[in-house]
Structure 1
Amino acid sequence: MTPIATPLYAQVGVGTPPPGDAKILFDGTKQSLHTHWTYWEGPRLATSLPIKWALVKDPVDKGMVVNSNDPAAAGGKYGAADIVTKQKFRDFRLHIELLIANKGGNSGVYLQNRYEIQVLDGDSTKHGMGAVINETPSPYHAYKGLGQWNAYDLVFRAARFKNGRRIEKAMVTLYFNGIKVHHNQTINQVWGGRNSGIDGGNNGGKGITDTPGGLKLQAEGHNVLYRNIWIKELDLKTADTDF
């Protein structure tokens, strides 16, 4: 009997290939980096184009990857050299792979340049690895550790509004290295203030607005590497991100 293939949208984990209708945001080339990404022009921006994130050899496999250790972010100055996609998104399926090279390495994956999925070695609190930052416990058990490739696979649904008022909060389901760690998790606000992302300076991060945003990767002055980043736009009619 011929085995039934798992649909691409349900595949998760390191090495997951993009479906044919996904957009490849980073494939290890300078062209993909400079075509799809730019610096986030937040209040703390301290650098200028072209992007200074270095392409380096993959320390585990073949190919090239990008290092988030932008010189402008030295000392953990988040917001100084974060990169964000030029395209803005509402609902989407995202795959991204990350490797933390050194103890305490810190970065972050921001959905709509608002809501952070934390990337932080050594922290298993609500501010730690794999957490919807400050809103869920860290699923630290799913983390492979330093020098290893890890994968976030998620479906995100943007907040919904009526007459300018938020009536449904943003929602995410996340697999961390193939393990479902957050299921239909609602997200209340933007954390980290105005230097963190869109709406961070609005009413203490609670003033969420009805505007799309790009996928953002945070520079915090650490050697955190990224590869195999792809996204598929969705239109989720109901508040359900399960997959």
Structure 2
Amino acid sequence: MTRPLLAAACLLATAPVFAQASGDPARDPTRTEVWKPVPASVATPLGGAPSDAIVLFDGKDVSAWESEQGGRVPWRVDDGAMTVVPGSKGIRTRQRFCDMQLHVEWRSPSATAGFEGQDRGNSGIFLQELYELQVLDSYNNPTYANGQAGSIYKQAMPLVNASRGPGQWQVYDIIWKAPRFSQGGGLTSPARITVLHNGVLVQDDTVLAGRTEYIGAPSYAPHDCAPISLQEHDSAVSYRNIWVREL
């Protein structure tokens, strides 16, 4: 290295020291350091719920749930799973939620003979009882794209089809931002949802146009926090390892 280049390098290396020594606040790295508040520590055991989560179903206890009409849960509980009894009713949490992180594992029936489209492994996860994230066996099972697994039913198709085969456990990780309404009942902020299906992003901060409708366009009506509901749709879909973190 030539003497002029060596001298320039030395000046650059010592410039911050000189700047701090001369009291130049623009060159002080501590100006951009934030120390408080300190984020709370959350334990994240492998395969388990975070330490600050509300466990809604641990494979045995259904006390966090009730029938959608009130009363005991009408579904079967065995082998660490809660399974829909076709012809019964859906279920909902006793607790109400708004913004949340929700983890749900689900499994469609392994027997598929005679079932196709919306008749194969159909259920649904309703956020605030009004907005449905579709549960369906969408492995080699053609149906309308905004009605397959990972869709916001009749509103937003998934970015990709990340479905596993029938009879295999699948995972939804959901970030839900509840809609906001003014005191007069007007919509000030629509609902938004992000969903990972088996670890793959399928809804990316999707903005909802309103509540889920089977017929007609979605729309909003003012409401408060509400339960999480699991749908009974004539198929023996199973659920396990359900937990939620309020945001």
Q: Is the 8 A contact 1:154 1:175 kept in 2?
A: yes
| AA matched with 1:165 | G
Question: In 2, Cα distance between the equivalents of 1:10 and 1:151?
Answer: 17
Cα offset, 1:206, TM superposition: 1.5
Question: In 2, Cα distance between the equivalents of 1:124 and 1:204?
Answer: 16
Question: In 2, Cα distance between the equivalents of 1:124 and 1:228?
Answer: 29
Question: In 1, Cα distance between the equivalents of 2:105 and 2:42?
Answer: 17
Alignment match of 1:26 (pick from 57, 60, 63): 57
Question: In 2, Cα distance between the equivalents of 1:206 and 1:65?
Answer: 34
Aligned to 1:176: 197
Cα offset, 1:205, TM superposition: 4.9
User: What runs of 5+ residues in structure 2 fail to find an aligned partner?
Assistant: 1-40, 113-119
Question: In 1, Cα distance between the equivalents of 2:232 and 2:150?
Answer: 17
Q: Does residue 119 of the first structure (1) align with residue 135 of the second (2)? A: yes
Aligned to 1:218: 231
Aligned to 1:96: 104
Aligned to 2:72: 50
Cα offset, 1:204, TM superposition: 6.7
Could you tell me the percent identity over the aligned residues? Answer: 29
Question: In 2, Cα distance between the equivalents of 1:160 and 1:233?
Answer: 16
Higher strand share: 1
| AA matched with 1:126 | N
| AA matched with 2:49 | P
Where do residues 10-25 of structure 1 align in structure 2 (5 Å cutoff)?
16-25=47-56
Question: In 2, Cα distance between the equivalents of 1:124 and 1:138?
Answer: 11
Where do residues 185-204 of structure 1 align in structure 2 (5 Å cutoff)?
185-192=206-213
Number of aligned residue pairs: give it: 194
Question: In 2, Cα distance between the equivalents of 1:180 and 1:140?
Answer: 8
Question: In 2, Cα distance between the equivalents of 1:160 and 1:49?
Answer: 30
Higher helix share: 2
Q: Is the 8 A contact 1:91 1:158 kept in 2?
A: yes
TM value normalised by structure 1: 0.73
1:51-88 per-residue CA deviation (whole Å, 9 max, x = no partner) reads: 2200132xxxxxx201012433xxxxxxxx11000100
Q: Does residue 38 of the first structure (1) align with residue 73 of the second (2)? A: no
Aligned to 2:165: 145
Q: Which has the larger radius of gyration?
A: 2
1:187-220 per-residue CA deviation (whole Å, 9 max, x = no partner) reads: 1122236xxxxxx9xx975232131111100011
Question: In 1, Cα distance between the equivalents of 2:160 and 2:201?
Answer: 12
TM value normalised by structure 2: 0.72
Instruction: Tell me which of the two structures has the higher relative contact order, counting C-alpha pairs closer than 8 angstroms and 6 or more residues apart.
Output: 1
Cα offset, 1:8, TM superposition: 7.0
Q: Is the 8 A contact 1:127 1:138 kept in 2?
A: no
Where do residues 55-94 of structure 1 align in structure 2 (5 Å cutoff)?
55-57=77-79, 64-72=80-88, 81-94=89-102
Question: In 2, Cα distance between the equivalents of 1:191 and 1:215?
Answer: 14
The runs of 4+ residues in structure 1 deviating greater than 6 Å are 7-11
| AA matched with 2:98 | R
